[in-house]
Chain A
């Protein structure tokens, strides 16, 4: 079963617009991560936010975490065609080196 559920499942925007996607999870976490996957390729780590952090920035990425609501959001500002990909949130469990991934958001950035 998946820990995280992402919303929306798919998103289509024009280049230059912002893209926002949300992730909800069920159990307590140590950290939450976001990954990007280009079609059929491996996942690439984007950003990690710890459970005691509320917001984190990395370049054009902004991630928020609300542990009281068990939710996170990823904002990509000034999107580019190269941002077209699937984006996954992932949470760590109580034990071991294991991530539980959400279903992902497919983002299409039209030039």
Chain B
């Protein structure tokens, strides 16, 4: 069974640009979460989607957005990039159903974004 796939793995952007990151979950997983990891702030929750609906959102500005498609694939977008958005963006999928406590998350290898 294929794992969680994130593309692109590495990208470099300049301030003010926007970026779209993609995540393909494990087949059968309907929940997809996104996390930002930086040396200073650690791992921070961005948002979570289940069956195309955003169920939970972290404390990030509106420049960060996401969506989930009917095949459970997810994208996140960051507009008007700032230097501080440089980070490893991690996507995770899970089998958790609506209302279940959070179970095991399966992470992709991440997309490393550098903003110059």
Contacts and interface: CB of A to CB of B under 8 A. Distances in A.
Interface of A: 2, 30-31, 33, 35, 40-45, 48, 88, 92-93, 95-104
B102 A30 contact: yes
Nearest to B6: A42
B40 to A, nearest CB: 10
Contact of A42 (B31, B55, B94, B109): B109
Contacts of A44: 107
B45 A99 contact: yes
Interface string B84-103: 00001010101010001111
- Among A88, A95, A98, chain B packs the most CB atoms within 10 A around the CB of A98
Nearest to A29: B101
A101 B92 CA distance: 14
Contacts, number: 69
Interface residues of B, number: 30
A42 B110 contact: yes
Nearest to B55: A96
A45 B102 CA distance: 13
A69 to B, nearest CB: 21
Interface in B39-98: 42-45, 48, 50, 55-56, 58, 88, 90, 92, 94, 96
Contacts of B35: 101
A101 B108 contact: no
Given A45-B104, A98-B48, 14 more contacts: A35-B105, A40-B88, A40-B110, A41-B109, A42-B108, A43-B92, A44-B107, A88-B43, A96-B48, A96-B55, A96-B56, A97-B33, A99-B45, A102-B42
